[in-house]
Amino acid sequence: MSTGRKYFGTDGIRGEIGKSPLTPDFVLKLGWAAGKVLAAQGSSLVVIGKDTRISGYMLETALEAGLVAAGVKIRLLGPMPTPAVAYLTRTFRASAGVVISASHNPFQDNGVKFFSSEGTKLCDETELAIEEYLEKPIETVASEKLGRVDRVDDAAGRYIEFCKRAIPTEVKLDGLRIVVDCANGATYHVSPHVFSELGADVITIAAEPDGININQNCGATSLAYLQKSVKEYRADLGIALDGDGDRLMMVDHKGEIVDGDEVLAIIATHRLADIGEHVVGTLMSNLGLEKSIRKMGLNFHRANVGDRYVMEILQRTGGILGGESSGHIIVRDRISTGDGTIAALQVLHAVVETGKSLHDLKQVMTKYPQTLLNVRIQEKIDLENNSDIQDAVRAAESQMGERGRVLLRASGTEPLIRVMVEAEEKSETNELAKMIAEVVENAA
Q: Is residue 103 flagged as an active site residue?
A: yes
The vertex-243 CA angle with 25 and 52, nearest 5°, equals 55
Which strand (E) or helix (H) includes residue 86?
helix 82-91
CB burial of residue 21 (10 Å; 0-12, 13-18, 19+): middle
Q: What's the rounded Cα separation, in Å, for the pair 241 and 253?
A: 17
Question: For residues 172 and 174, what is the distance between their CA atoms, to the nearest angstrom?
Answer: 6
333 and 320 Cβ atoms separated by less than 8 Å? yes
Number of Cβ within 10 Å of residue 275's Cβ equals: 20
Three-state DSSP at 100 gives: strand
Helical H runs in 135-274?
155-164, 191-197, 224-232, 260-270
SS3 248: strand
Residue 256 burial (CB count, 10 A): 14
Among 198, 229, 212, which Cα is nearest to 341's?
Answer: 198
Full 3-state SS string of 280-348: EEECCCCHHHHHHHHHCCCEEEEECCCHHHHHHHHHHHCCCEEECCCCEEEECCCCCCCCHHHHHHHHH
**Closest to 241 (Cα-Cα) out of 277, 209, 278, 273:** 209
Which ranges in 318-421 belong to alpha helices (H)?
340-354, 358-361, 387-400
Q: From residue 84, give the alpha-carbon distance in Å to each of 115, 214, 315, 435.
A: 11, 18, 21, 46
The one catalytic residue in 103, 191, 229, 292 is 103
Return the active site residues.
Answer: 103
